Structure 1
Amino acid sequence: MPRNDPPEAPKRRRLWPAARWWFRAAFAFSLVFGCVLLGASAAELAPPPAPSAPPTASAEGGVDPETLPVAPDSPQASMRRFIELCRAGDYAEAARYLDLPPRADGAVLAQKLKAVLDRHIWLDVAALSPLPLGDAQDNLGAGVEELGKIPTRTGPQPVRLVRRTTPDGVRWIFSRATVDRVGEWYARLEDRWLRDHLPPALLRAGPRELLWWQWLALPVLALAAWLVGAVLSFLLRALLRRIIVRTDSTLDDALLEGTRGPLTFAAALLAIAAALPWFGLYQPAEEFLDKVVRAGVFVAVFWFALCAIDAVGGRLLAAPATRDNPAARSLVPLMGRIAKVAIVIVGAIAVLSELGYPVASLLAGLGIGGVALALAAQKTVENLFGSVSIGIDKPFQVGDFVRVDALLGTVESIGLRSTRIRTLDRTLVTIPNGKLADLQIESYTARDRMRLACVLSLVHETTPEQLRAIIEGCERALRAHPHIWPDDVVVRFIGVAPSSLDVEVMAWFETRDFGEFRTMRQEMLITFLEIVGSAGSRLAHPTQTLHLATRDGERPQADAADGGGPANGGRRELRQAPSAGARPSR
């Protein structure tokens, strides 16, 4: 049948794949950059540092320099001031902490030296000596401190401070030998071209020691990495599709289709990790982005788990056993949502912990909340697991005729909390699944055969020949029935009762329909009556005979009233109300 689409419909169909692609790209960018921003703000929620301990004695019996107050003319104070001036962009003032040669541009040298130190020696100012004379145990002599070494082609070269008296007072400054090598060190920086051509504002450090030009480049990197990841994901899925096409299961096909997003995201993370060394990151920035990439790996893994839950849930819903079980059709999506919530919670905690957020209090809160939820939802959870038990064990299905304890009726619905049964009186009884799972359930619909059981009560006047004819005729009639189960047909004389000769009849009909069974039972009972009548016998009525004894040869007073006397020997028969000779049971 042709489709009557409006004129703009083909255009919408052409634009939808492109819009979907851009939506995925925007989602990936938001995911990656969101992790970056979360990590950048993690320091604000970090626990405050522990208070410093009181001064302790060193191994030499003196005082530990790290616990002493910072002297204003110490290496630690001078370097802290130098770094503050450089971060503020006041390189001319920072040049006063350099031992400059004549006619040297101090501001340029200070800027280059700061770039070299940030790239090769990330100064931990708190680790420098707070004493005015510096560290006397470094074997460098009085008035000399070494900050570290710069790797070069000819070997590592030291970066040293010397104690000098300046017009502003005594301070520690970079030595002349260190200042003379700044140009050579700066020329070997990987990002020297960018530093020479970018505006100074973009070269300043932002949050997490990322330069502002690096912050601006990260979104571009994320988008480019997503494009590379999409290509790599497409190639990988094409290779995997060639392998799984040979299998008979459809689960691997659903998993492969659902993992398009996680695979693309993981490949994008791989591209980002490969491109980060070209950014010339400082040590804190490099450590921070490494955490972001590792957090992204957690996101990809838990994303894949969510897609796997969808694939497995769809496969379970398509299974024949689930299609025939309404409770299972309702239970599978619910369990899938519960699993997704659990995965999201665990994944969020793992990502936040990797980014540096304090999650101990969050875990404690989740534990307390879990206990409170378990106590409050105890009955609900009991009914839920009862529904799971019923769905797995399958004692009955919707439409089955069952007996639950003393309740007899038809199962009308099986829910997640309760099961509803329609009784023979057309009332609706609701039983919680938690309680129903512990009750004895008898399913009549599950019968593969239905039993006919009755007792033919014949009169005492029936002769043995007539009794044999009746037994043989009833058994022959049962075995001649087209739906009889021939392995066990019972027609036997079972005893002499006070008012009858009892013949037991028991047989099974191969049918599951109770209406059809009732018709068969009716036909067989009528046949039994015909056989009894043709044999010359009849069904007995329950009777009781009372013998009244005489006293002194006198005639009983009741004889005249009830027909007693010499004619019947002084006997009186009391007959009970007649009842059916054949007593069928269900």
Structure 2
Amino acid sequence: MLDLSQKWLGNTLEEWAYALALALSINVILGLIKWVIITRGAKLAARTSSNVDDALIEIAKRTKQFLILGVTLMIGTRYLELSDQIDKTLITVATVSGFLQLGLWLNGGLSFWIETYRSKNSEGAAATSLGAVYFIGKILLWAIVSMLMLDNLGVDVTALVAGLGVGGIAVALALQNILGDLFASLSIVIDKPFVIGDTILVDTYFGTVEHVGLKTTRLRSVTGEQIIVSNSDLLKTRIRNYKRMEERRMLFTFGVTYQTPAEQLRKIPAMVQEMVESVPSARFNRAHFRGFGDSSLDFEVVYWMTEPDYAVGLGVQQDINLALFTRFEEEGIEFAYPTQTLFVQPQSSEPLHVKMAAAKGDAA
């Protein structure tokens, strides 16, 4: 029969048994809480739209029972009389285990946030930038956890922090352009001034976004070549995003001859309005007799395309032009073109009128 009154390392076996039972009991209770959160919580999370419960489940999955045991052993032995060496060893084990578990929980939270954001942004640019952010975030996280752990273990981390600070400044100076582009890429992913597939104008460069990388963004121009722009330079300039137009404003002008009667001039805006409104995807705005040109009476027409696609707009403009040409032909209204009228005074009392068409390409 085992005598529990025997002493080992300054305490009876019974006291050691109670201490171990306490440590294991706390470990088992925490393990049961983990199991409930993962199993029961998953069913609850499936019925809710909140991300809090999903984050809690992901963090709980990162719980390691052997690390929890390292902490609970110290808790269980607080009531025992131990030598300084053993007590220091248990405190060290508990400190290392506690900070490692804390790091795993924080890393789980960071991973959940990255994956949640990535699932909402499936384009390649988001995956690339968020992957880089996750990598940098993990390095910073474990660096902070490690220094806090060493500080709690009694290690003087002042010199280490100072050395890391100086080294970080040196690295940042050497890589400032790369880091600037990296953070610009992250800004593009989060702020979303454009996404892959958008057609944008950057300064004088016009094209469709093909790829947003860690350092550069690549556009495909309308003439076929690829335009590569630094991310940091991209955010320093004004960007026009044509893909996000809800409607496209269309404006065109035309002129009729000076021989057009005033009554027909008054009818032209209503004719144009009727033709624009008969075309699908077009919303009439205005049509006015704008002014007197050198060889024409000028009209200006503005309408809105409810479909902002440029190719669709050109098709609609073509339909309006053909309808306008047909209607004017029926009404006997002539389109103006650059002409010059010369009045020649002959010897007789009656003037001779000569009308000359200007050569193609000549100014009016």
TM bucket (normalised to shorter chain) is 0.7 to 0.9
Out of 335, 340, 359, the residue aligned to residue 133 of structure 2 is 335
Is 1:399 aligned to residue 214 of structure 2? no
- Structure 2 residue runs without a partner (length 5+): 11-15
Give the match's secondary structure for 1:297: helix
Give the match's secondary structure for 1:489: strand
Is 1:577 aligned to residue 350 of structure 2? no
Is 1:535 aligned to residue 331 of structure 2? yes
Displacement of 1:383 in angstroms is: 0.8
Cα deviation code 1:129-176 (max 9, x no counterpart):
xxxxxxxxxxxxxxxxxxxxxxxxxxxxxxxxxxxxxxxxxxxxxxxx
CA distance in 2, matches of 1:412, 1:375: 31
Specify the alignment match of 1:236 in structure 2.
33
Is 1:268 aligned to residue 69 of structure 2? yes
CA distance in 1, matches of 2:272, 2:97: 81
Out of 116, 128, 136, the residue aligned to residue 315 of structure 1 is 116
| Cα distance change, pair 317–367 in 1 and its aligned pair in 2 (3 A) | same
Out of 130, 146, 158, the residue aligned to residue 360 of structure 1 is 158
Give the match's secondary structure for 2:243: coil
CA distance in 2, matches of 1:578, 1:466: 29
Out of 362, 365, 374, the residue aligned to residue 172 of structure 2 is 374
TM-score by length of 1: 0.54
Q: Which amino acid aligns with 1:465?
A: E
Equivalent pair of 1:327/1:414 in contact (CA under 8 Å): yes
Specify the alignment match of 2:13 in structure 1.
none
Equivalent pair of 1:542/1:578 in contact (CA under 8 Å): no
Out of 321, 325, 329, the residue aligned to residue 525 of structure 1 is 321
Equivalent pair of 1:353/1:359 in contact (CA under 8 Å): yes
Specify the alignment match of 1:480 in structure 2.
278
Cα deviation code 1:415-466 (max 9, x no counterpart):
1211111112211110000000011111222111223311111111111122
Specify the alignment match of 1:285 in structure 2.
86
Alignment of 1:48-447 (within 5 A): 192=7, 231-240=28-37, 242=40, 245=44, 247-262=48-63, 264-265=65-66, 267-277=68-78, 280-319=81-120, 322-323=121-122, 325-447=123-245
Q: Which amino acid aligns with 1:233?
A: L
Is 1:512 aligned to residue 308 of structure 2? yes
Equivalent pair of 2:342/2:353 in contact (CA under 8 Å): no
Alignment of 1:3-42 (within 5 A): none
Out of 253, 259, 267, the residue aligned to residue 455 of structure 1 is 253
TM-score by length of 2: 0.83
Cα deviation code 1:194-213 (max 9, x no counterpart):
78xxxxxxxxxxxxxxxxxx
CA distance in 2, matches of 1:351, 1:465: 92
Equivalent pair of 2:291/2:299 in contact (CA under 8 Å): yes
Give the match's secondary structure for 1:506: strand
Displacement of 1:243 in angstroms is: 6.3
Q: Which amino acid aligns with 2:271?
A: G
| Cα distance change, pair 238–262 in 1 and its aligned pair in 2 (3 A) | closer
Equivalent pair of 1:546/1:574 in contact (CA under 8 Å): no
CA distance in 2, matches of 1:334, 1:252: 26
| Cα distance change, pair 406–277 in 1 and its aligned pair in 2 (3 A) | closer
Specify the alignment match of 2:263 in structure 1.
465
Identity of aligned residues (%): 27
| Cα distance change, pair 498–228 in 1 and its aligned pair in 2 (3 A) | same
CA distance in 2, matches of 1:483, 1:360: 69
| Cα distance change, pair 456–237 in 1 and its aligned pair in 2 (3 A) | same
CA distance in 1, matches of 2:233, 2:277: 44
Displacement of 1:344 in angstroms is: 0.9
Displacement of 1:573 in angstroms is: 5.3
Displacement of 1:394 in angstroms is: 1.8
CA distance in 2, matches of 1:234, 1:462: 93
| Cα distance change, pair 406–532 in 1 and its aligned pair in 2 (3 A) | same
CA distance in 2, matches of 1:457, 1:545: 17
Cα deviation code 1:366-386 (max 9, x no counterpart):
011100011011111111121
| Cα distance change, pair 498–289 in 1 and its aligned pair in 2 (3 A) | same
Specify the alignment match of 1:200 in structure 2.
none
Specify the alignment match of 1:497 in structure 2.
293
Cα deviation code 1:283-334 (max 9, x no counterpart):
2431342243233222221221111111221211222xx12x4322222222
- Count of residues in correspondence between the two structures: 349
Equivalent pair of 2:201/2:240 in contact (CA under 8 Å): yes
RMSD: 3.5
Q: Which amino acid aligns with 1:295?
A: V
Q: Which amino acid aligns with 2:157?
A: V
Displacement of 1:279 in angstroms is: 6.8
Specify the alignment match of 1:173 in structure 2.
none
| Cα distance change, pair 461–452 in 1 and its aligned pair in 2 (3 A) | same
CA distance in 2, matches of 1:330, 1:267: 35
Displacement of 1:265 in angstroms is: 4.6
CA distance in 1, matches of 2:151, 2:78: 24
- Structure 1 residue runs without a partner (length 5+): 1-189, 196-216, 550-563, 582-586
| Cα distance change, pair 344–226 in 1 and its aligned pair in 2 (3 A) | farther
CA distance in 2, matches of 1:284, 1:481: 91
Q: Which amino acid aligns with 1:374?
A: A
CA distance in 2, matches of 1:329, 1:565: 87
Cα deviation code 1:91-150 (max 9, x no counterpart):
xxxxxxxxxxxxxxxxxxxxxxxxxxxxxxxxxxxxxxxxxxxxxxxxxxxxxxxxxxxx
Equivalent pair of 2:215/2:231 in contact (CA under 8 Å): yes
Give the match's secondary structure for 1:365: helix
CA distance in 2, matches of 1:304, 1:499: 79
Equivalent pair of 1:469/1:535 in contact (CA under 8 Å): no
Displacement of 1:571 in angstroms is: 7.7
| Cα distance change, pair 571–512 in 1 and its aligned pair in 2 (3 A) | closer
Q: Which amino acid aligns with 1:306?
A: N
The structure having more radius of gyration, on CA atoms, is 1
CA distance in 2, matches of 1:260, 1:327: 29
